[in-house]
């Protein structure tokens, strides 16, 4: 029997585990939400427990596994398997996540950044099939990315390569990033900035047609609300989405100039804003790239579903 891959997507709200065939099909999975209050060691023990449960529910043993891949939502030191920092979970500062989990198993454990795992999932099973090089950008509450060169994840010196969210697209911006810098791509275009941008535009006099309660500070503005606004033709929502899309367009233009990739894949929750958003990202990109595109570049939506993080983590074992 072919060996099964185990993928663990350790997120800030959900922890997903799955048993995955080497062709990307999912054999069984488990999702829990009660890991966030636990310490690092408790989380590792919990993951080990859940892996064993998942195996026995599917009549498998550890020996049936090729190994376990873990996607982590933050910076890691790839070579020694340490997490450096994350804003999505408590702790995990210089924590030996790979070896802690390894101590429960005999099969190999791989640790990588979650966006790297998702990028690799696109390469093997998603919109990146047929390419050797690709850049994957995920746009949700934050912005993450993965770089695939010659069918391998490019990790850089430490393991933190691909942090396009912290490339600066507007140094004079009003928006300060979680990293402290002004005008990072993430500060100007991720989910966390939407309500701030909405408030600023409202104060500048753009009127919204949406029914906000009297004196609202617009803190409830998120991707879902903006989508409703777009559908209703709301000028303020359209203005926010156009600005965010424009910054992503600048971001992918910079990526294009650095890597000259054949494909850039966009994923993450904000892509649900639909064609209005995606079209403006592409038009800003083409406005900037003009006649510097010598071969066609594909700018496409992610094909991965909700399980991409987990499947990608499992796929790390195929790299």
Q: Give the binding site for Zn ion (CB under 5 A).
A: 166, 177, 179, 181, 184
Decide if 230 contacts 223 (C-beta within 8 A): no
- Smallest gap from Cβ 18 to Zn ion, in A, equals 31
- Smallest gap from Cβ 146 to Zn ion, in A, equals 18
- Smallest gap from Cβ 177 to Zn ion, in A, equals 3
C-alpha angle with apex 314: 312 to 317, nearest 5 degrees? 110
Decide if 9 contacts 33 (C-beta within 8 A): no
- Smallest gap from Cβ 302 to Zn ion, in A, equals 23
Cβ closer to Zn ion: 78 or 164? 164
| Residue (of 167, 94, 16, 261) closest to 85 by Cα position | 94
Per-residue tokens: 60: 């498998």
Per-residue tokens: 273: 């804003």
Per-residue tokens: 113: 């950044």
- Smallest gap from Cβ 65 to Zn ion, in A, equals 37
Cβ closer to Zn ion: 128 or 146? 146
Which pairs from 192-196 meet CB under 8 Å and 24+ separation?
192/141, 192/142, 193/244, 194/221, 194/222, 194/223, 194/226, 194/240, 194/244, 195/219, 195/220, 195/221, 195/222
């Amino acid at each position: 029997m072919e060996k099964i891959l185990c993928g663990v997507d350790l997120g800030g709200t959900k922890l997903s585990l799955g048993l995955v065939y080497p062709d990307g099909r999912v054999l069984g999975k488990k999702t829990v939400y009660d890991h966030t209050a636990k310490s690092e060691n408790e989380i590792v023990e919990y993951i080990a427990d859940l892996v064993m449960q998942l195996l026995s529910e599917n009549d498998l043993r550890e020996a049936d596994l090729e190994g376990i891949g873990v996607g982590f939502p933050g910076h890691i030191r790839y070579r020694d398997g340490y997490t450096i920092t994350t804003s999505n979970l408590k702790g995990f500062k210089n924590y030996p996540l790979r070896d802690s989990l390894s101590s429960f198993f005999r099969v190999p454990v791989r640790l990588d950044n979650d966006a790297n795992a998702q990028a690799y999932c696109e390469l093997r099973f998603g919109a990146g099939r047929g390419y050797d090089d690709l850049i994957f950008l995920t746009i949700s509450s934050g912005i993450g990315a993965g770089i695939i060169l010659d069918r391998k994840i490019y990790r850089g010196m430490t393991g933190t390569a691909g942090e396009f969210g912290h490339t600066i697209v507007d140094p004079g911006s009003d928006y300060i990033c979680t990293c402290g810098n002004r005008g990072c791509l993430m500060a100007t275009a991720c989910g966390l900035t939407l309500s701030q941008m909405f408030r600023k535009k409202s104060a500048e006099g753009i009127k919204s047609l949406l029914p906000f309660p009297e004196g609202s500070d617009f803190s409830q503005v998120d991707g879902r609300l903006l989508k409703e606004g777009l559908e209703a033709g709301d000028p303020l929502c359209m203005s926010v989405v156009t600005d965010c899309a424009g910054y992503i367009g600048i971001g992918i233009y910079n990526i294009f100039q650095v890597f000259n990739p054949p494909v850039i894949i966009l994923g993450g929750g904000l892509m649900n804003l639909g064609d209005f958003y995606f079209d403006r990202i592409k038009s800003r990109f083409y406005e900037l790239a003009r006649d510097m595109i010598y071969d066609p570049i594909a700018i496409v939506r992610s094909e991965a579903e909700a399980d991409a993080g987990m499947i990608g983590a499992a796929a790390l074992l195929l790299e």
